[in-house]
């Protein structure tokens, strides 16, 4: 159970979101520790299915409390995990490591993620959570309907051995404060001395059900 501040949690979900997703993962590794040649490994993984998000409350510090679960056709099913999502896109799930397609969907779900009043004159905003090693840049433009916003962004995260670069595109519904479509392409470079790897992750997700929208 996550508890960082006063939390308001409903006995039943306040809102349920269901996204259909596809994910493709490519891994390429070079091991130069051999005395006379480099060894190369390549692998591919893909899956499709649904991600279900149950919104259960709001923390005193504005964090959105939710449960996320995944059902994949090719073995990527994940049991429900409780997380807190913040407006700066931080996701806290205790010691649980989310699947990349889950993270791609959750990052923008906090209702304070998009604040049109804070955009600069180029409809841009910047996020750099202190101590995270992460920098994010977003740009917003008018979407295909009156209530939608087209958002593009880049996310960079650096550590001593890893560099992660992500490119994101969202169709965001300002009236329901959630993305209806998510696309994220992530490249991970890991340098571990003689062993180097590059992983690319391509995620597409589309909102198929929202209990908060009345038809």
Domain count, the chain: 1
What does 66-85 look like in DSSP terms, one character per residue?
A: EEEEEEETTS--EEEEEEEE
3-state secondary structure of 90: coil
Asked, for residue 67, whether it belongs to a domain, the answer is: yes
Question: Mean pLDDT over residues 77-100, rounded?
Answer: 93
Pairing, β 15-31 against β 39-59: antiparallel
The reply to whether the predicted model has a pTM over 0.75 is yes
3-state secondary structure of 86: coil
Domain interval for residue 178? 7-210
Q: How far apart are alpha carbons 125 and 112 in whole angstroms? A: 13
Of residues 186 and 194, more confidently modeled: 186
**How many residues in total does the chain contain?**
215
Asked, for residue 201, whether it belongs to a domain, the answer is: yes
pLDDT in tens, 116-172: 888 999 999 999 988 778 999 999 999 888 889 999 999 999 888 899 999 999 999
Q: How far apart are alpha carbons 64 and 163 in whole angstroms? A: 28
pLDDT of 175 reads 93
Asked, for residue 2, whether it belongs to a domain, the answer is: no
Q: What percent of the chain has pLDDT over 70?
A: 87
pLDDT of 213 reads 72
Who contacts 77 (Cβ-Cβ below 8 Å, separation ≥6)?
49, 70, 71
**Residue 7 pLDDT class (50, 70, 90 cuts):** very low
Of residues 1 and 103, more confidently modeled: 103
Asked, for residue 1, whether it belongs to a domain, the answer is: no
Q: How far apart are alpha carbons 182 and 53 in whole angstroms? A: 15
Asked, for residue 157, whether it belongs to a domain, the answer is: yes
Is residue 151 a contact partner of residue 143, using CB atoms and an 8 Å limit? no
């Amino acid at each position: 159970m996550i508890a960082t501040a006063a939390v308001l949690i409903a006995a039943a979900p306040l809102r349920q979101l269901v996204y259909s997703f596809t994910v493709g993962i490519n891994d390429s590794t070079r091991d130069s520790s051999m005395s006379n040649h480099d060894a190369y490994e390549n692998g591919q993984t893909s899956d499709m299915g649904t991600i279900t998000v149950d919104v259960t409350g709001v923390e005193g510090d504005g964090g959105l409390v939710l449960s996320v679960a995944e059902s994949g056709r090719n073995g990527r099913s994940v049991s429900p995990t409780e997380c807190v999502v913040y407006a700066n896109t931080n996701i806290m799930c205790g010691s649980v490591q989310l699947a990349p397609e889950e993270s791609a969907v959750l990052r923008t779900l906090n209702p304070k993620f998009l604040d049109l009043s804070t955009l600069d004159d180029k409809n841009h905003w910047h996020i750099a959570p202190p101590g995270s090693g992460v920098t994010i840049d977003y740009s917003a433009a008018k979407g295909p309907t009156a209530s939608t916003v087209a958002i593009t962004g880049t996310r960079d995260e650096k550590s001593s051995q890893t560099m992660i670069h992500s490119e994101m595109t969202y169709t965001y519904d300002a009236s329901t404060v959630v993305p209806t479509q998510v696309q994220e392409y992530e490249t991970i470079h890991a340098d571990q001395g003689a062993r180097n790897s590059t992983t690319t992750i391509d995620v597409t997700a589309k909102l198929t059900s929202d209990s908060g929208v009345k038809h």
